Amino acid sequence: MGIAEYGRGTFGATVMIHRLRKGFTEKLSGDLLGAGAILFLSMTIVNGGNYAFNLILGRWLGPTAFSDLSLIVTIVLMSGFITAAFQLTSAKFAAVYSAEKDEERLAASRRWLQRGALVCGVVILLVFAGGSLFWQRFFHTESAIPFVILGIALPVYLVQGVDRGALQGQLSFKRLAGSYQAEMWTRLLASLVLVGLGLSVDGAVLAIGLSFVATWFIARRVGSWAKKAGKLSGKEKKVVASFAGPVVLVFAGQILISNSDIIIVKRYFSPEAAGQYAAVALIGRIVFFATWSMVTALFPIVAQKQQRGESHRHLLVISLGLVAIVSAAIIAFTIIAPELIINTLFGQAYVSVAPMLWLYALATALYALANVVVNYRLSAGRGKGTWIALTAGLAQVTLLFIFHDSLEQVIVIQIVLMASFLFVMLIWDQWLAHKQKFVPRSLEVSSLSLSQDSS
């Protein structure tokens, strides 16, 4: 089932759960592949635009100023674990309520999660905007203004995550893709104008804030069709919160793994070295972003199949295989022509770190594979892997704080940790698969078991 077929139909749960034709397409679960294809096509464009944002500004600003911008982007990503937790929780219950055709509870859970996101956003605003002068001194940045702009923008970033999750859970991938497109194009075009006018890093950070507003404008339309939301009962709120706990842990681990190295390098290395490392990290993370669309599509499909009592383990195998293939291709390219890649994308000022490129891509690939297993088990209502992810993240932060004699050492530590993380996740998954047989559950049993199995 290809993209063209989706274009002639309706993006919704009925399309995604429809039985595929017999033979090869049925075996490969076209619902996942089709949804992944839609998101992959959109996210390829989005990632291209985001990379253009970084590449253009990396050249315009130079390594020193680019390290300041990279720090702000990294803080956005680290704050994003809260957004991602709200989004994934929203996606889980949107998927469950959509499967049961319960629009009122879907709308109620959305409204309740939005209120929580707004409260968290205000706290973050106070931390970054109120402490802007402290952060400027701590990270040796040229100005405190980017931290003020960031603090004002982050509450919108958190709230839009709830609506994106509702779109994801309802398998409304067309509008979900549109929200990512709006974010990317607003950020790219606004940054070109504002930085071109001489606003430098301040202009780039303002463009990031405007992109969050554009995303919220598109994603919030998810509620335009819904019935008037009632109130979730205390018991239902407890169910949602019991799921959100493991989600927060997994994304806290993800953020620490994906971004702590940038923060630590910015803190302990020279601005020029930090900027060069940021360039390597940006290119090396192509592996993660190129495969993220498959994980995004995997989660709600597994959640709905779990709710209906349908088999879904084959989706994990397919996802791991696709991520491995894409990762291997990217790593091979970084081995063959690292200097060409660095020079073409960032310029001669960054070429000295080219030999480290394939190492960073390898570390990212190992993490991307482990992340597939974590999200698969989380979507099926098993949260124990979140502790493993958080432990890996904390171990990375601890080791990098202790050992950071060189940029190469920083990357090698990440490779060893991510290989260990992947190994543990695969062993844990196989143990669960051997121990447990799939048993269809109602929403009540499935959700409440999270507090017992959320482990």
Among 316, 419, 411, which residue's Cα sits nearest to residue 365? Answer: 419
pLDDT tens digits along 2-21 = 333 323 333 333 333 333 33
Pick from 233, 288, 308: nearest CA to 18: 308
At CA 390, angle to CA 405 and CA 106, rounded to 5?
Answer: 140
Residue 264 has pLDDT above 50, yes or no: yes
Structural tokens at position 29: 């679960």
| Cα 98 to Cα 86: distance, rounded to the nearest angstrom | 18
Q: Angle, nearest 10°, between helix axes 338-345 and 357-379?
A: 80
User: Which pTM value belongs to this model?
Assistant: 0.64
Which segments of 269-285 does DSSP mark as H helices, in order? 271-284
Residue 405 CA, chain-centre distance (Å), reads: 30
Mean pLDDT of 104-113: 81
Per-residue confidence band for 237, with pLDDT thresholds at 50, 70 and 90: confident
Which residue is associated with the tokens 């960032």? 346
Asked if residue 103 lies in contact with residue 97, where contact means CB atoms within 8 angstroms, the answer is: yes
**Tens digit of pLDDT for each residue in 441-454?**
444 334 433 333 43
Nearest to 85 by CA among 150, 158, 154: 158
pLDDT digits (tens, 9 = 90+) for 341-365: 888 888 888 888 889 999 999 999 9
Count Cβ neighbours within 10 Å for each residue of 309-334 and write b for 16 or more, e otherwise: eeebeebbebbbebbeebbeebbebb
Residue 190, amino acid: A
